[in-house]
Structure 1
Amino acid sequence: MTFSEMMNIGLMQGFAGLSLFSVLLLMGLGLAVIFGQMGVINMAHGEFMTIGAYTIYLGSTLTEKFAPGLMQMYFPVAIVAAFLIAFAAGWLTEWALIRHLYKRPLDTLLATWGLSLGLQQVFRSTFGPKEVSPTLPDWLMGSWAPSEGLDIPINGLFVMGLTAVVTGLLLIALYKARWGLRVRATVSNRVMANAIGINTKKTDRLTFAIGCGIAGVAGAAFTTIGSTGPTSGSLYIVDSFLVVTFGGAGSLLGTVASAFGIAQTQSISEFFMTGSNAKVLTLMLVIGILMIRPQGLFASKVRR
């Protein structure tokens, strides 16, 4: 094997890592908002991702059946629908369940784990136990070949672009919008935030719903690189919590750096060893770094 071929293989493996990084980052951003900003352990976060993925599948199926001429345009609309449906489900979950369990992390963990199992059964009953895949528009198919022997999938480029847009919008919302100001004030000092007129209960509900909505977008991105089943979201929940913990709870910059490091380490090591061994290696490296720096890569400074 020539040096050029080795370089091309390394670049393609690295790009595969970027695709995984994009999904992990979207999942991690949603968790960073919910877990990092609110301290809620949401074990059903993966199921909100699955809601987004099934929304894309439904959009594809309905468009193909009733409006086949719109197949090239349905996907961006379905992504917005995935966010809105997951957002609404998150809003309802916070109102019906989470708001009664604040400052009770173990109860929250058990309750959301039960919700996760319940949602998985709903998915099985509605869509069946088998994995499904949407029909993607033609402009998402194929690959881009910047040089001979190097093929970069177009769907991976799209997922990276989508991730960059969502990350940018979230940063703007957190640091420029009124909602972000309320969130940061609530995290910094909840009692003082209430005293100056911020409705912290409404802020909590909106924050939880936005985190779930971002998970829905992660599910939409996931449909371009894999098929969707009732347990698809649960396969990413551990990695998502790992991303948030490793990056530093509450730090969006840490979430980005952590998702990139974990995805690239896992993807590149999978070329030299089995998938299970690559995952073990990645986990050992993360644990080793957390032993040295238990607060994560970028610990946020919060006044207590």
Structure 2
Amino acid sequence: MFSDYSATELGSIFAMQGFAGLILFAVFLLMALGLAIIFGQMGVINMAHGEFMILGAYITYLTSNVFADYFPALFGGYFFVAMVLAFLAAAALGALVEWTVIRRLYHRPLDTLLATWGLSLLMQQSYRSIFGAREVGVEVPDWMAGSFQVTDFVELPVNGLFVMCIAVAVTLAVYLLMFRSSWGSRVRAVVQNRPMAGAVGINTAKMDRMTFALGCGIAGIAGSAFTMIGSTGPSAGQDYIVDTFLVVVFGGAASILGTVASAFSISQAQSTMEFFLGGSMAKVLTLLTVVIILMFRPQGLFTLKVRK
């Protein structure tokens, strides 16, 4: 596998694939953060999480078109507006879904899986009806185009670096919100002991709705970031949902540090193996490795320490 390349070529290949893996890591991380909140904190299996990501992508696409048509002088900053709108739209839809469907299915994981799977099909068909079946692309602002030449063989695209900065910023914001704020303390109180949390005055139903909305909103941000590196289609979210669940389970449910470590290791492994073995074989080997590790450590890489 490596014999056909010189040492210099191998070094360049690993460097290029390593950076490509970092871009994939950023998308995985943004997707997994939202799913870790919903699945890890609430125990809800949200099969429509990828469609919430695509909602954010389409919001970004619409925002770019509006800025291009009506505010061309401000087009360079449209993405920041689009990211906020994507978060708000996905969070609002998530709150509506939790209020109408999910709140009736808590502690019934199979039912939530089936309900959200049906929701994902409904959302995909809605996207096809509104935007068409063909993929759409977002025009990248001029300041985000181009790349940095690191070596003769390695270039770092500016949009990829920007996506990674978004992932780092969102991860830090989620950490501060969940572990350094009173709202996060209430969320964790509901997770650890719902009856006692309700007894001390916490509105558990409201916390559930806000937590689900937050997870969906982060998926919307992931969709905005996704438009910087790929095109958007009605079913594009399904390409990432399995990998995202794999990241959350492998890292350890409800563990932000585990989510980061898992997203990094899986993205780097897939990116490197895809170059030498192809996409399908890379996914198979990654899944097989994760399954073997989980057989010996079923709780994932990291777990929260709680008193019993």
TM-score range relative to shorter protein = over 0.9
- Deviation track 1:236-284 (CA, whole Å, cap 9, x = no partner) reads 1111111111111111111111111110000001111111011111111
Root mean square deviation, CA, Å: 1.1
Question: Which residue matches 2:95?
Answer: 91
State the shift of 1:80 in Å: 1.1
- Deviation track 1:119-174 (CA, whole Å, cap 9, x = no partner) reads 00110000000000011101111111133322011111001000000000000001
Mapped to 2, the partners of 1:101 and 1:65 lie a distance apart of: 44
Kindly report which structure 2 residues correspond to 1:213-292, keeping only aligned pairs within 5 A, or say none: 213-292=217-296
- Deviation track 1:58-84 (CA, whole Å, cap 9, x = no partner) reads 011111112222211111111111111
Question: Which residue matches 1:49?
Answer: 53
Question: Which residue matches 1:151?
Answer: 155
Mapped to 2, the partners of 1:235 and 1:269 lie a distance apart of: 18
Q: What TM-score do the two structures reach when normalised by structure 2?
A: 0.96
- Deviation track 1:154-212 (CA, whole Å, cap 9, x = no partner) reads 11100100000000000000111111000111111111111111111111100000000
Question: Which residue matches 1:110?
Answer: 114
1:204 paired with 2:208, answer: yes
Mapped to 2, the partners of 1:35 and 1:187 lie a distance apart of: 11
Question: Which residue matches 1:9?
Answer: 13
Question: Which residue matches 1:185?
Answer: 189
1:63 paired with 2:67, answer: yes
- Deviation track 1:6-37 (CA, whole Å, cap 9, x = no partner) reads 32221110000000011001110001000000
Mapped to 2, the partners of 1:267 and 1:201 lie a distance apart of: 41
Mapped to 1, the partners of 2:48 and 2:196 lie a distance apart of: 31
Identity of aligned residues (%): 61
**How many aligned positions are there?**
304
Question: Which residue matches 1:101?
Answer: 105
Mapped to 2, the partners of 1:188 and 1:174 lie a distance apart of: 14
- Deviation track 1:82-114 (CA, whole Å, cap 9, x = no partner) reads 111111111111111111111111111111111
Mapped to 1, the partners of 2:234 and 2:101 lie a distance apart of: 22
Q: What TM-score do the two structures reach when normalised by structure 1?
A: 0.97
1:295 paired with 2:289, answer: no
Query: Structure 1 stretches of 5 or more lacking a match?
Result: none
Residues 239 and 225 of structure 1, relative CA distance in 2, 3 Å threshold = same
